[in-house]
Structure 1
Amino acid sequence: MSISSLDIFIILGYLVVIALVGSFTGGRQKSTHDYFMGGSNVPWWAVAFSIVAAETSSLTFISIPGLAYISNLNFLQLTAGYLLARILVAVFFLPAYKTGQLSTAYSFLENRFGITTRRYASMVFLLTRIAADGVRLFSTAIPLALIFKTAHYFNDWSNFEIYALAIAIIACVSLIYTYTGGVKGVIWADVVQMSIYIGGALMALWVLLGYDYVSLKPAADAGKLTLFNFDWGTSIADFFRKPYTFLGALIGGTFLSMASHGTDQLIVQRLLTTRTLKDSQKAIIASGVLVMVQFTLFLFIGMLLFSFYKGVPLADPSVPFSKADEIFPLFIIQQLPVGVKGIIIAGLFAAAMSTLAGSMSSLSSSVVLDLYKPRLKNTDDRKELKISRIITVIAAVVLIFVAFTFIALNQSVVEIALGIASITYGGLLGTFLLGLFFKRADQKGAIIGFTAAIIVMILVSVLPITGLIKPIIHWTWFVLLGTIVTIVIGNAFSGKVNRGKS
């Protein structure tokens, strides 16, 4: 790996600037409403940018071009489901959140079922968010650790020490503006960070198009421009195992995005910062359009990389990569000019840190507003704000600790941890749908249904990664399955109508 002093300066400069932007744009907070909901006066377009930045990780930045290199455009079918889901969230979920003046996604569950359901959902969110984002923090630190390894200053450092330093730097920068700026600072930092990583991707595209022999023709000749996949398989079981079929992408993408954008506090927190219900609806729908454009850009880069490397397969020794996820990073490192390389690596950090900062804020808001505040009725704003900032620091420390544990663990364990978030989305969405559309559902049924979905999803999504069983369905169907289990079991164990707090 070769990286110049200018590139390192650009990367370090980015880290300093983003910390300052987030800190100063957050303004002064006088209460938890200011700290966690931005005073409910953030422009809808900034929230839309922030949503897209929050759902875009470094893994997305790296993996989607690689996916296009080894397959085709079928992945883009998911975005149709994503957009449809956000329209449904805008129509059915957001009115319940905004008109009810709710503070978190899970306060809706208290109003509908009772405080126990709210606490249960919040605890599940906390555990899965910590595990998943701890891994994302580790993956974000990898390129920074590789940069450190090229510097002579760290020749005597062990691998663990280098990775630990990289993890600590990224986490601390994210913590600075989350701690001082609150969710408003996080949102405005997200706007800047999305501009940086999209700008970096456009620079990579510009460099690729500068080569005379690079075009979309090789990808077209190889059938890689195929968008729709109407392959139904040879049996029902085969159909559900097929990757990125049209129905799997449309239906699966819809349920996945309904769960992530309608029930996950990481996203819902941002939607609660807008002035009005109409603004939050515009933000969520606009984010669906932006995601379509963003995924198209990264897939287009992958198609041009296929042309750049002349379509050589991964196993060929003539290319410097052996995995799809290595293709775009190695192109950045080996082919891009000085300065441009630093900007794109900064874009990689931007894609990751937006999720990380949002995670710290949403973890803190869920602990304070779902678990702490309901138990104490007479706390003043200043004390609540102080506790909120302390919890934000604790959330950062916990994420750092989780990331540290993955330094010495193998890749399969990392994959298992990343799969943890997928096992809860179906249960969360099913519980919210029970509350919205099934009057008979009560607290007991909701909790039993939620728990049943988690158990089923562990069997379906996690065990195949371990090799204990063969894959049963493709991951695009996971959330739908979990949702169905929750609704069926939840209704079966429900009794009388229960809309009061208990």
Structure 2
Amino acid sequence: MNNFPLIDLGIIVIYLIAMVLVGVYFSKKNTSSEAYTKAAGTIPSWAIGISLYATFLSSNTFLGVPGKAYGTNWNAFAFSLSMPLAAFIAAKYFVPFYRKHTTVSAYTNLENRFGTWARSYAVICFLLTQVARMGSIFFGISLTLQALTGLDMSLIMLVTGICIVIYTILGGIEAVIWTEVFQGILLTVGALIVIGTLVYNIPGGTHTIMDIGLRDDKFSLGSFSLTDFSTSTFWVILLYGFFMNLTNFGMDQNYVQRYHTAPNAKEAAKSVWLCTWLYIPISLLFFVIGVCLYAYYDVNPDLLSTIKEQTAMERIGSGDANLAAIMGSLTPADYGDKVLPHYMVNHIPTGILGLIVSAILAAAMSTISSGMNASATVFTEDIYKRYINPNVSDKGNLRVLLIGTGVFGAIGMFAGIAMIGVQSILDVWWTLSGIFAGGMLGLFLLGITNKKVGNSDAMLATIFGIVVILWMTFSYLLPEEYGFLRNMLHANMIIVVGTIAILLVGNISQRLRRATSNK
């Protein structure tokens, strides 16, 4: 184990115990499945808004965004800039829609609209998305704690996962929301502390940071070309962000479930806007951290040797290859995710380090606990009660919710272990979420934008959309002689093209069917 200060370790342990005690406190209120999943509609909009913000601002943001900004530029900030338009659509259309349909699951309405297959498809997509999200977050937090303690990453995931599972099982959605309020605040304070120490430790402070950032184009939002969709341009990330945020606000059980915890639709809509106006400026802080880290290691290049050696060793797997040659070929993008943990280990004062690590834990715990609760709710409502035991009692329903929460927590841990060794947390999460969410969003939008679309139209459109998504995802595996069939668009365009394909095919099918029947 690394020489991790006992004071910092104590702060982290106290934080973990406090979260478990929160779960114990709220467990007394969970006397029914409605209280466990909806908190009986008693949560104020400001608390829901901060909770949504904390769910957005996961440890993927705390670690992945600074790493991305360090390795490239501020291109990923276009994702944040897409949120207001998605929030407008969500507040005006999605929130009233879900409040009108009182079922807690986001996917029950798809069955009413198109049949059981639509509900089942959306549920599968959602659960796969949540497993990918929880896995990437478990991986991110273990990456940081390994740098601090030297412990095995799998062991770290196991210990933190058990704590998260305990407080989520005991506390239900009310515990998740109120702990996320605290965690969102702690996360923001942690980001400000990191920026403050970086500015203090860089000779010349903000002036030096600005000079280096401008010199190496670190503040760039990417190319604004309207003809290039094969690289990570501003428009590619903006489109991806818009469609991904529509999925979050419109189809993600994490968000839809929170709409039901508000007293009414108006308060639920307020929470969406509060989440948006909090996320945009505070997410910018993490891009600032990335540039500050870049400037710090630019003026202290010798400090990068440990990070580069660790990255090189991960790539070769042993000491047999030419380590020096590999280290010399590495670019900032190759080791960006490791820079912030390295800086924290070596340059954050004792006591403050424990607070910041607790903030990262808070980010991880808020998102993972949300994912566990939402996944268990979807499994119970859309699988267990629909296909296994429709007449289950409320007590039995609550028991399934509790068991499901623990099971999905365990699955998320195993997914995180499977991700050990990936290059960029943010890239992995964005790619996987785009693959799983594209068809789900397209089907949902098809159902609410055109009331004339029937079951056969929706099924045809979804099948076509799945084929498009699979082609865009795996066509790079085609042999060279079939290279002309490969997808030439950036991976973040998968959700965009997949969603549009479903909307187009569904509407065309509906028009052709009606035209044929009128002859």
Shared fold, TM over 0.5: yes
**1:210, CA displacement in angstroms?**
2.1
- Unpaired stretches in structure 2, ≥5 consecutive residues: 309-334, 515-519
**1:220, CA displacement in angstroms?**
5.1
Matches of 1:465 and 1:321, distance apart in 2: 32
Matches of 1:276 and 1:65, distance apart in 2: 37
1:287 and 2:275 matched: yes
Which of 210, 213, 235 is the aligned partner of 1:217? 210
Distance change (3 Å), C-alpha of 1:67 and 1:34: same
1:345 and 2:357 matched: yes
- Report percent identity of matched pairs: 27
**Paired position in structure 2 for 1:192:** 182
Give deviations 1:299-357, integer Å, cap 9, x for gaps. 122222233223678xx886543411122221111111111111111211111111111
Distance change (3 Å), C-alpha of 1:66 and 1:142: closer
Distance change (3 Å), C-alpha of 1:249 and 1:134: closer
Which of 400, 405, 414 is the aligned partner of 1:392? 405
Distance change (3 Å), C-alpha of 1:189 and 1:255: same
**Paired position in structure 1 for 2:325:** none
**1:60, CA displacement in angstroms?**
1.7
Q: In 2, are the aligned partners of 1:427 and 1:486 still within 8 Å (CA)?
A: yes
Matches of 1:466 and 1:167, distance apart in 2: 36
Q: In 1, are the aligned partners of 2:70 and 2:294 still within 8 Å (CA)?
A: yes
**Paired position in structure 2 for 1:24:** 25
**Paired position in structure 1 for 2:307:** 321
Give deviations 1:474-499, integer Å, cap 9, x for gaps. 344332211111112333455879xx
Matches of 1:66 and 1:309, distance apart in 2: 13
**1:394, CA displacement in angstroms?**
2.0
Which of 238, 245, 251 is the aligned partner of 2:239? 251
**Paired position in structure 2 for 1:477:** 493
**1:26, CA displacement in angstroms?**
5.7
Distance change (3 Å), C-alpha of 1:221 and 1:465: farther
**Paired position in structure 2 for 1:363:** 375
**Secondary structure in structure 2 of the residue aligned to 1:310:** helix
Which is further off, 67-76 or 383-392? 67-76
Matches of 1:402 and 1:67, distance apart in 2: 22
**Secondary structure in structure 1 of the residue aligned to 2:73:** coil
**Paired position in structure 1 for 2:224:** 231
Give deviations 1:66-120, integer Å, cap 9, x for gaps. 3333433333232221121011111111111001213111122123222331122
The amino acid across from 2:233 in the alignment is Y
**Paired position in structure 2 for 1:149:** 150
**1:429, CA displacement in angstroms?**
1.2
Matches of 1:308 and 1:108, distance apart in 2: 52
**1:405, CA displacement in angstroms?**
4.3
**1:361, CA displacement in angstroms?**
0.5
**1:258, CA displacement in angstroms?**
0.4
Distance change (3 Å), C-alpha of 1:25 and 1:219: farther
**Paired position in structure 2 for 1:261:** 249
Q: In 1, are the aligned partners of 2:4 and 2:149 still within 8 Å (CA)?
A: no
**Paired position in structure 2 for 1:242:** 231
**Paired position in structure 2 for 1:296:** 284
- Unpaired stretches in structure 1, ≥5 consecutive residues: 151-161, 498-502
TM-score calculated relative to the size of structure 1: 0.86
Distance change (3 Å), C-alpha of 1:115 and 1:403: same
Q: In 2, are the aligned partners of 1:214 and 1:304 still within 8 Å (CA)?
A: no
Matches of 1:347 and 1:465, distance apart in 2: 40
**Paired position in structure 1 for 2:323:** none
**Paired position in structure 1 for 2:265:** 277
Matches of 1:405 and 1:80, distance apart in 2: 32
RMSD between superposed Cα atoms in Å: 2.9
Bigger helix fraction: 2
Aligned 1:430-449 pairs, distance under 5 A? 430-449=442-461
Which is further off, 470-479 or 204-213? 470-479
**1:265, CA displacement in angstroms?**
1.2
**Paired position in structure 1 for 2:10:** 9
Which of 370, 374, 395 is the aligned partner of 1:382? 395
**1:48, CA displacement in angstroms?**
1.2
Which is further off, 455-464 or 206-215? 455-464
Matches of 2:184 and 2:88, distance apart in 1: 22
Matched length:
477
TM-score calculated relative to the size of structure 2: 0.84
**1:432, CA displacement in angstroms?**
1.0
